[in-house]
Amino acid sequence: MRILLVEDEPMFRKGLAKMIAGLNTGWEVCGEAENGEEAERLVELLCPDLVITDIRMPLMDGLELLRRVKAAHPDTAVIVITGYQDFQYAQTALRCGALDILVKPCGKQDICHVLDKAEAVVAVKREQRGREQREEARRLDNALRELFLRLPCRPDVAAILERRICGTKLILLYIADYSPDHKQYAKKDIPLLQFAVLNIVGEVTRETQGDAGCLLIVETGCFALFIKELSEEQQLQSAIAGSLWSFLGLRAELQEAVAVDALEQLPDLYEERLGVRRSGAAAGGLPASALSREEAAQSLPDGASSRMKQQMIAEQLAELIREGNLKGLKECLEQLTEAVCASGPEVRKLEALSLGFALQETARRQLEAGYDPGLLTARIERLHECGSLKELREWLAEATGHFSEALAEWQNKYGGSSVAAAIRYMEEHYASRQLTLAEVAVQAHLSPAYFSHLFKKETGRSFVTFLIEVRMEKAKQLLAGTGLNVTEVAGIVGYDLPNYFAKLFKQYSGLTPKEYRKRHQS
């Protein structure tokens, strides 16, 4: 999670940033500003989860910044720093939406308290936002399905779909038979299979087109894929059909892509190209699974909600990895496993597959894991064969185990060698006043949060502490071996403020710069 610090006093701001970096929490300082105007621009640029701002500042004070941030970004938490003499302003800040107040001078315990409070608030808002996004995705999917089936659609929802769909290319896909002879699928497996189809088609489309597009189950066995920029259509169709056959053993018929210029086209295109009528019958014959209308309705998984939930799980896991919060990651996997097992028997396999796809997506995107089609096929087949809760738990344990193995391999790859490279970079660039954890993390090919965790694990010190040590050792050499004054030495080792440098130097060496020079200069 990201913090923007806003404080016009450089020494206090830098000290606060150092303190936060040394807490080893999930928070990182993503930017600093010395007045409200600069901070307002950085909020738009950096999108922090939390803004910690002083009240009294030039150009724009903290109260005005608070009002503007809450108006433009209501989910961004704001904590206000104040002195005892400004406490009446603090009351105003709370009325304007500040999460909490920090009174100067504030210690480590005070900072930990407000950061814990902010973390809880951010987590609740993210969960709420996730629920709202899933509900919105479900609403839009249902509305789009209704348009295909010539059912009425609310004008405001139609306007959203118009912007989303018009100008895309539509490919209609039909699964003719959900019970092929070489597979032992039953009617109860159709929701699971359809969810697997959604994920496989989305993954293939993302791999070949760079975008997963918009994918919808219209009716049982009938899918609509909308793509904004379609290239190599034949290659895409072959890849989709081949993947569905190799992974699931299902044959798919794909229609040639057609441009969508208006929503009114959808029902005609659907009926003409697939021969499907609102009754659910197909001109070329029903799917071999021969579902009744009631069974067909029940077989439609809540695709939008399930895929959105899958994405939210993947994002949650990715954030824990980026933060280096391995304990939290383990607890999260345990909680997700228990949530699947606690779900109803009718959706349990669907929930398990959703978690499995989320783990696979996270491993590929965050941990550089390879894509193993054979492993995916085997997992889906084993999930299909699970007949008891015990067997499902074993399947989930295997899925989370593969994920943990990918995590361990990734950690080994970016372990000591990455930290060693980072240390070399710091020793070469210590004089840069703008040298940040984020910049060094890029050199190590890691996210700032995970790099911070790994660096402390390998060196026993935080990034900030280690950088100060490097700079102080260089300063010792300059003080003992040159005639440069303290201000010049401070500038050479990366500090604009000689007083701040002198304070850090005494904390590090036990002597002021002048005392050190007097004792060590020959």
Q: What is the tens place of the pLDDT at every residue in 13-37?
A: 888 887 877 776 778 787 888 888 8
C-alpha 365/C-alpha 59 separation (Å) is: 43
Going from the C-alpha of 321 to that of each of 15, 126, 366, the distances in angstroms are: 27, 17, 8
Amino acid letter for position 322: R
The pTM score is 0.56
Sign, CA torsion 450/455/461/465: negative
C-alpha 249/C-alpha 242 separation (Å) is: 9
| Same domain, yes or no: 178 and 289 | yes
Comparing C-alpha atoms, which of 230, 503, 199, 233 is closest to residue 377? 199
Q: Which CATH number do you get for residue 508?
A: 1.10.10.60
User: Three-state DSSP class for 175?
Assistant: strand
Q: Is residue 160 situated within a structural domain? A: no
| Same domain, yes or no: 182 and 291 | yes
| Same domain, yes or no: 28 and 108 | yes
Q: What is the DSSP letter of 26?
A: S
Can you name the residues that pair with 258 across neighbouring β-strands? Answer: 170
Mean pLDDT of 441-458: 76
**What's the domain range around 370?**
306-413
C-alpha 106/C-alpha 83 separation (Å) is: 10
Q: Is residue 131 situated within a structural domain? A: no
C-alpha 60/C-alpha 469 separation (Å) is: 36
| Same domain, yes or no: 296 and 310 | no
C-alpha 198/C-alpha 203 separation (Å) is: 9
Place of tokens 């210690």: 107
Q: Considering 413, 432, 458, which residue would you say is the last residue of a domain?
A: 413
Element (H, E) at 53: strand 50-54
Element (H, E) at 209: helix 190-209
Q: Is residue 495 situated within a structural domain? A: yes
E-strand ranges in 137-213 read: 169-175
How many domains does one find in the chain? 4
Given a contact cutoff of 8 angstroms between Cβ atoms, the answer to whether 236 and 230 are in contact is yes
Q: Is residue 154 situated within a structural domain? A: no
Q: Considering 413, 436, 462, which residue would you say is the last residue of a domain?
A: 413
Q: Count the residues in the chain.
A: 522
Q: Is residue 156 situated within a structural domain? A: no
The tens digit of pLDDT for each residue in 262-286 reads 888 888 888 887 664 334 433 333 3
Structure tokens given for 22: 């040394």
Q: What pLDDT sits at residue 287?
A: 46
Question: What are the respective helix, strand and coil percentages of the chain, to the nearest 5?
Answer: 65, 10, 25
Q: What pLDDT sits at residue 452?
A: 76
C-alpha 78/C-alpha 64 separation (Å) is: 12
Q: Is the pLDDT of residue 231 over 50?
A: yes
Q: Considering 124, 144, 178, which residue would you say is the last residue of a domain?
A: 124
Tell me how far the alpha carbon of residue 431 is from its chain's centroid.
33
The verdict on whether omega for the bond into residue 105 sits within 30 degrees of 0, i.e. cis, is yes
The tens digit of pLDDT for each residue in 355-413 reads 888 888 888 877 877 766 667 777 777 887 888 889 889 989 988 988 888 888 877 77
Q: Is residue 132 situated within a structural domain? A: no
| Same domain, yes or no: 238 and 315 | no
User: Three-state DSSP class for 141?
Assistant: helix
Q: How confident is the model at residue 474 (pLDDT cuts 50, 70, 90)?
A: very high
Q: What pLDDT sits at residue 283?
A: 37
| Same domain, yes or no: 274 and 235 | yes
